[in-house]
Amino acid sequence: MSPEKLHGSKHYRINRMFKQLRSPGNPKGRLRISSGASSLTEFRRRDGLITKLARAGDWDTLKMLERGELSIADIVAADKSGRLHVVAENLRLVKPLAPPASDKEGLAWSEETLSELKRPPTEVETWLAVSARAKQSRRRYRTSWVRFLSRARATRQLRKSAPRVGDLADIDYARLQKEWGASSADWNRARAAVSSFLTYYLNGDLYHPFRREVMRQFKTDEESRGRIPDITPEQFWALIHKADDRIAPSLVAMATLGTGPGEYADITREDLNAESFTVHIPGTKNRNRDREVAVDPRLWGWIDVAIPAPLAYRWLNEWFKRARKEAKLPGTLTMYDLRHLSAQFAGDEGVTDRDLTVHMGHSTPAMSHRYSRRQVVRTVAGAVADRLLEGDNAKHGRKKAVNDE
């Protein structure tokens, strides 16, 4: 087919179709743009550049060309300088990372907040809206990004005007970590948010040179061992007996199933299997948290009554606090702590880290080791005492000490 010229123009039109360019707005994957060339020879050279990009699988560049984010002149210039296959990468790194510090609208993080923006969304905002299935997870990502941007700007590591994606590689992360001003866990959450964004932004390429360079500098900080609620089974049941009848089954369900309030609220009647005494936990944090938990038949009655959740989180938490106060339990005990109770009690009974990992929906046994530590420590203490007290002299000394009292 002979090349066609644009209507009313001396320039030839590039008119190609690629299935890789198909989208809701372009179902046929058509690339229809001006070649900017009036001579047939130059047109064929420029059309050949499109073929060259397609054969190399450089679909990102072609998509940006189709959307108008790149022009054919950009492609020609990149080819002349020998940078044809990196033009899209370079352009991607100069895109706006986040809004300027002076922006009054804040960091958008959902489809709703994106639709309310009076300016074009930045790359982080576009990612936040699809960053996680659970609304709470997207909100946590936003919180981490807000703190990261705030601290990077406060330490003059990131421009207060709209920073670019490529600016992430220019931050002195060792200095930023020293001046972070929050916990190691908070730092690691910010690192996870940046890592997840870059993975998405670079089309899932975990080994992309830019991503590897940023994450190499953004080192993980060593965290203290996770929180474990220090209450006994007797104290737990004291809490249940003081709780309002509407929420008592809910508290037992969270402690039995190893779920936080959010996971518990997502469980429906369809997730219960009364024949096998199992419950499907529709985890929202990661794929490991989507799991099946077995329940001892002796506790099934509580689970059956607790599902679905009778109240929203706000009122569950309000009634939990009242029961905690009446049971005279520490004010530091939170409703989320009930998630850890089942694993801690099981760990006290010698259940292995591997089994606890399955129950809790953790990604590695190392995350579950905190629950078995107490039982290990007690076993060691008993072994030490047995050895110290096994001799006659030790027994005699003990009797003498007791008699002296």
Contact by Cβ (8 Å): 341, 229 = yes
For residue 106, give the nearest of 116, 96, 94 by alpha carbon. Answer: 116
Cβ–Cβ < 8 Å for 70, 64: yes
* pLDDT at residue 210 is higher than 80: yes
Distance (Å) of CA 213 to CA 169, 173, 207, 217, 400: 7, 12, 10, 7, 68
Question: What is the reported pLDDT for 372?
Answer: 62
Closest CA to 85 of 54, 114, 118: 54
Q: pLDDT digit string (tens) for 108-141?
A: 988 899 999 999 899 999 999 999 887 878 988 9
Q: Is residue 180 scored above 90 in pLDDT?
A: yes
Using CA atoms, how far apart are residues 70 and 190, in angstroms rounded to an integer?
32
Helix/strand/coil (H/E/C) assignment for every residue in 340-379: HHHHHHHHHCCCCHHHHHHHHCCCCHHHHHHHHHHHHHHH
Per-residue confidence band for 283, with pLDDT thresholds at 50, 70 and 90? low
For position 1, what pLDDT does the model report?
55
pLDDT on residue 309:
94
Give whole-number Cα distances, 333 to 82, 182, 311, in Å: 63, 22, 20
Q: Homologous superfamily of 233-379 in CATH?
A: Intergrase catalytic core (1.10.443.10)
Nearest-angstrom CA–CA distance, 50 and 62: 8
Predicted confidence at residue 386, as pLDDT, reads: 75
Question: Minimum mean pLDDT among 30-39, 78-87, 202-211: which range?
Answer: 78-87
Would you put residue 29 in left (φ > 0), alpha (ψ -120 to 50) or beta? Answer: left
Is residue 250 within 8 Å of 305, Cβ to Cβ? Answer: no
Share of the chain above pLDDT 70, in %: 87
Note if the pTM is more than 0.75: no
Report the distance separating Cα 28 and Cα 158, nearest Å. Answer: 42
How do the domains of the chain map onto residue ranges?
A: 13-93, 111-217, 233-379
Residue 288 has pLDDT above 70, yes or no: no
Q: What is the pLDDT of residues 140-168, one digit of tens each?
A: 899 999 999 999 999 999 988 889 899 99
The alpha-helical segments, DSSP class H, found in 155-222 are 173-178, 184-201, 209-217
Range with the poorest average pLDDT among 24-38, 179-193, 383-397: 383-397
Amino acid letter for position 195 = S
Instruction: Give yes or no for a contact between 121 and 195, defined as CB atoms under 8 angstroms apart.
Output: no
